[in-house]
């Protein structure tokens, strides 16, 4: 497998009125060509901020404080803004979270999709032809007529297809999809995910999928990284992690997913709330919510335990039964 992206000890800081918080803390993972890696965790765990750090799209109060982001061997964190502009939308695409606000309401669909082809110095007619081709590729009906339409004339699912078209137009090697099915109904969600998988197979690209839906992860992803309070606590192939989770947080997330082969009156919950990013607990950040926590857990953050070459977990009590 070809390794497209290798994130090593990525750290990102955000300056707020209350103080400086560590939004992404020592995060490491890899993405390979033709494979999809899921970033999973509660809201505020650092998933989207990790993706923005990779793309160099941090807010004004954000700063990458360390680590490396190697894309085909080149460190993206070492590149300036002009160099990153040659990579974004060309070799790496990013689908933003909300399809309802991802498009500019003041420009037509043709204008927005056509931006992906400006670097190729095409004529207006050639650019229009390419726009029609890519819109047809993502399943937009009558694309010739849709070029002059505005985003408000499209449904949520159609807008998301346009957003996908904008990001695959240049045939990227890596696609980052940050909760691409947010605010869409279940049927449309499935259509969008199937479309992404189809395009991935056609292009052989790697993909990072940010999601809360563990069912989606089990059906559409090859690898998974579980994030909690800015850190990855467990990572590995989806089938191995879901079949035998080792971190108590992963176990809690999976236990809260309903199944059709069991009848329960109340689903189990992961008790408590995530810690404030401004006041992280000593030791393991999940310890205040963990029934298995010991004094060692509360005092010292666990080192990585590697089960094999592709499976790791950060827990002092990994592998023990509750």
Quick one: 161 and 184 in the same domain? no
Which CATH number do you get for residue 40? 3.40.50.300
Residue-number span of the structural domain to which 240 is assigned: 3-91+173-264
Q: Where are the alpha helices (DSSP H) in 204-292?
A: 214-220, 238-243, 248-255
pLDDT at 89: 87
Q: What percentage of residues in the chain have a pLDDT greater than 70?
A: 99
* pLDDT tens per residue, range 111-158: 999 988 887 778 889 999 999 999 999 999 999 999 999 999 999 889
Report which secondary-structure segment, H or E, holds 38. Answer: strand 36-40
Q: How many domains does the chain have?
A: 2
Instruction: Assess whether 74 and 201 both reside in one domain.
Output: yes
Mean pLDDT of the chain: 91
Whether residues 187 and 113 share a domain: the answer is no
Q: Helix or strand or coil: residue 101?
A: coil
> Phi/psi zone of residue 60: left (φ > 0), alpha (ψ -120 to 50 degrees), beta?
alpha
> Confidence band (pLDDT; 50, 70, 90) for 322?
low
Domain identity same for 8 and 129: no
7 and 85 part of one domain:
yes
Q: How far apart are CA 200 and CA 126, in angstroms?
A: 25
**Is residue 12 in some structural domain?**
yes
Helical (H) or strand (E) element with 23: strand 19-32
DSSP designation for 246: -
Of residues 76 and 258, more confidently modeled: 76
> Looking at the whole model, is its pTM more than 0.75?
yes
Domain shared by 143 and 219, yes or no: no
Q: Are residues 179 and 113 in the same domain?
A: no
Is the domain of 162 the same as that of 25? no
Confidence tier at 321 by pLDDT (50, 70, 90): low
Domain end (from 227, 246, 264)? 264
Q: Given this model, what pLDDT does residue 25 score?
A: 94
């Amino acid at each position: 497998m070809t390794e497209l992206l290798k994130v090593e000890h990525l750290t990102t800081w955000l300056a707020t009125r209350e103080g400086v918080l560590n939004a992404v803390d020592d995060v490491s993972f890899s993405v390979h060509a033709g494979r999809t890696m899921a970033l999973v965790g509660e809201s505020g765990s650092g998933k989207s901020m990790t993706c923005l750090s990779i793309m160099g799209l941090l807010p004004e109060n954000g700063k990458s404080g360390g680590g490396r982001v190697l894309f085909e061997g080149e460190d993206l964190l070492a590149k300036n803004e002009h160099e990153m502009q040659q990579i974004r939308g060309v070799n790496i695409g990013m689908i933003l979270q909300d399809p309802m606000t991802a498009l500019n309401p003041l420009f037509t669909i043709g204008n927005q999709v056509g931006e992906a082809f400006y670097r190729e110095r095409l004529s207006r007619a050639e650019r229009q032809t390419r726009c029609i081709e890519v819109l047809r590729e993502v399943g937009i009906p009558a694309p010739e007529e849709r070029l002059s339409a505005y985003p408000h004339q499209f449904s949520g699912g159609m807008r998301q297809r346009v957003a996908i078209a904008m990001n695959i137009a240049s045939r990227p090697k890596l696609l980052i999809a940050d909760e691409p099915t947010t605010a869409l109904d279940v049927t449309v969600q499935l259509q969008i995910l199937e479309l992404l998988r189809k395009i991935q197979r056609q292009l052989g690209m790697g993909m990072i999928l940010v999601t809360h839906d563990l069912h989606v992860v089990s059906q559409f992803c090859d690898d998974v990284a579980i994030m909690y309070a800015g850190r990855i606590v467990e990572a590995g192939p989806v089938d191995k992690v879901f079949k035998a989770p080792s971190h108590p947080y992963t176990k809690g997330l999976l236990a809260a997913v309903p199944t059709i082969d069991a009848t329960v009156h109340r689903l189990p919950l992961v008790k408590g709330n995530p810690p404030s990013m401004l006041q992280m607990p000593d030791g393991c950040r999940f310890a205040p919510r963990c029934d298995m926590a010991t004094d060692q857990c509360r005092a010292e953050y666990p080192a990585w335990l590697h089960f094999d070459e592709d499976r790791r977990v950060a827990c002092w009590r990994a592998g023990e039964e509750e």
